[in-house]
Amino acid sequence: MSHFGAIDNLYFDFASPPYQNMIKGADFQLEDDQDVKKLSPFASLRIVKDYASRSRKLNGEKIHIPSSNTVRNDRKLSTIERIRMAGLHFIDSYEISNPNHAFPFSSSGLSDEESKDINLLLTLLASADKTGQQHFTEAIKLIESCNNTSSNEGITVQRLVYYFSEAIREKINHETGRDACDGLERMQMFDLQKALMGIDGSIVAFHQKVPMEQVCQFTSMHTIVENLGRARHVHVIDLEIRSGMQYIVLMQAIASGSEWQLRHLKITAIGTRSESKIKDTCNHLADFARSKNIPFSFNIVMVPDMLDFNINLLELDRNEKIAVYSAVSLSSLIITPNRLEHLMREIRKINPCITVITEVEANHTSATFVNRFIDALFFYGALFDSLTVCLGSDELNRKVAESVYYAYSIRNIVAAEGDDRTIRHTGIDVWRAFFARFGMVEIELSGESLNEAKLLIDNFECANCCKLRVDGRCLVVDWNGVPIFSVSAWKFI
């Protein structure tokens, strides 16, 4: 019988572990250090078992784990299924024999590729565990083993393991003083937010072929339109406009509404960097507005520091109906909670008719390295898988997305500590507690917007991987059961 025979009938889904982040004062309070000290060095990896125990919380989809008693079909295990299998096996092996390097893994019922991937993931998990225990010599040996069978040119799991093992190596080098400055200084020099600005080929390709971002943008703009009430003067304040593709969706909705007698659409883009790229984005939007005969203007508000932002910079008009839009911009301020709180106080002064927020639905804030590592492995495993499925033969743009955008985030989450760790995502429950402090009430997304979002996903060949679900009043976009983004709408009371 397969080693996994005992869990063949379990239903697995990914649910982020109960968030230990609590909002306290102006800070995102991380898990209590005393609680961390009570854990055994390996206990944090029990988080993988949590995914199994919360069996039907999401959609109850079964992971088909083949055994020697089942007939093999052509369906391959997804990247997420391989990670889950490796994690569960790692814990079972650890509890049974407390192995050093070897994991007695039975590959019965698996293809050669699946078996190799799971063994590779087992080695990666072992290196993370040893790093968490500060057994760096053993961890480096395991990383070298990973390097022998992983590559940024390989199949999905091989590429994923390559970037995570390199991140662990960088963490070890930093903690042991070997090339301590090199990696982290390069990390600080790279500006991820700047890289995401503007419209380059890889971002366009991702937008066109991977449905998750499109769904978030469509749902957000649809919600804003529903709450504008066909106002004649519309002002949208964007906290980080990036490529601006979301406003193509907005303008198309305006242009298709024959009864909407819009006199003026104004977009204010707030930024602390990359003014020239913001101007390029706004000029592209102005060109598109002209093609749709939409009266349009834009205003760019550059502030050297978010603490300098205030509503007097916004050129508000009492005749305007104002909406605020934030797409994965608030999480960038978690590391500086005073700036985040200042921004929220200023938005409250604006009192927009609607505030729509898209955020990464993940928990990358844990002070415990291994917890953070496991969360990131599932999350980026899903993203790597989505690129493989959606971009297919588009190798160039897939490589750019992985090696430039995702690789930086993985390195920052895994290797950096303290103020150097700037990538800090957290889930909707934490944001709800935070927003409540500013008198914000979550409103339900309309059935129409949810139905339209579902129809949008159905247009993609990967619709069976990308799923929508409702969490309270917000929309969560999953990839193979892994939460990726949330979209929520808020009003001030």
Distances (CA, A) of 148 to 13, 145, 162, 189, 414: 31, 5, 10, 29, 21
The pLDDT value given to residue 4: 25
> 297: exposed, middle or buried (C-beta count within 10 Å: 0-12, 13-18, 19+)?
middle
pLDDT at 259: 80
Q: Which of 419, 453, 484 is the last residue of a domain?
A: 419
Q: What is the mean pLDDT of residues 252-278?
A: 91
The amino acid at residue 178 is: R
Distance CA 123, CA 105 (A): 11
Q: pLDDT at residue 222 above 70?
A: yes
If asked whether residues 184 and 296 sit together in one domain, one would say: no
- Confidence at residue 412, expressed as pLDDT on a 0 to 100 scale: 96
Poorest-confidence range of 54-63, 93-102, 207-216?
Answer: 54-63
Q: What is the pLDDT of residue 200?
A: 57
The torsion of the CA quartet 202, 203, 207, 211, rounded to 10 degrees, works out to 80
Final residue of a structural domain among 377, 393, 419: 419
- 3-state secondary structure at position 491: strand
Mean pLDDT value across residues 198-210: 68
Least confident of 11-20, 196-205, 320-329: 11-20
Given a cut of 80, whether residue 42 has pLDDT beyond it is no
Q: Which of 393, 419, 445 is the last residue of a domain?
A: 419
In this structure, how many other beta carbons lie within 10 angstroms of the beta carbon of residue 464?
10
Average pLDDT of span 290-311: 96
Q: Do 88 and 45 fall within a single domain? A: yes
171 and 308 share one domain: no
- Give the long-range contacts of residues 148-156, CB within 8 A, separation 24 or more: 149/116, 149/120, 150/120, 152/399, 152/402, 152/403, 155/113, 155/117, 155/388, 156/79, 156/384, 156/385, 156/388
Render pLDDT for 150-182 as a digit per residue (tens, 0 to 9).
999 999 999 999 999 999 999 999 999 886 455
- Predicted confidence at residue 156, as pLDDT, reads 96
Q: Give tens-digit pLDDT for 321-351.
A: 999 999 999 999 999 999 999 999 999 999 9
**177 & 205 share domain:** no
Confidence at residue 20, expressed as pLDDT on a 0 to 100 scale: 30
Residue 182 and residue 219 in one domain: no
Do 443 and 396 share a structural domain?
no
Q: Mean pLDDT over all residues of the chain?
A: 82
CB 229 within 8 A of CB 323: no
Q: Are residues 26 and 53 in the same domain?
A: yes
Residues 70 and 95 in one domain: yes
pLDDT score of 74? 61
The span from the CA of 169 to the CA of 124, in Å, is: 11
**178 and 312 inside one domain:** no
341, with CB counted inside 10 A (0-12, 13-18, 19+), is middle
Q: Are residues 96 and 163 in the same domain?
A: yes
- Residues 432 and 380 grouped into a single domain: no
Q: Which domain holds residue 128?
A: 5-189+367-419
The DSSP result for 428-464, as a single string, is HHHHHHHHHTTTEEEEPPPHHHHHHHHHHHHTSTTTT
Between residues 114 and 63, which one has the greater pLDDT? 114
Average pLDDT over residues 93-122: 73
- pLDDT given at position 46: 55
Q: So what's the pLDDT on residue 91? A: 80
* One domain for residues 447 and 331: yes
Total domains present in the chain: 2
What is the CATH number for 253? 3.40.50.150
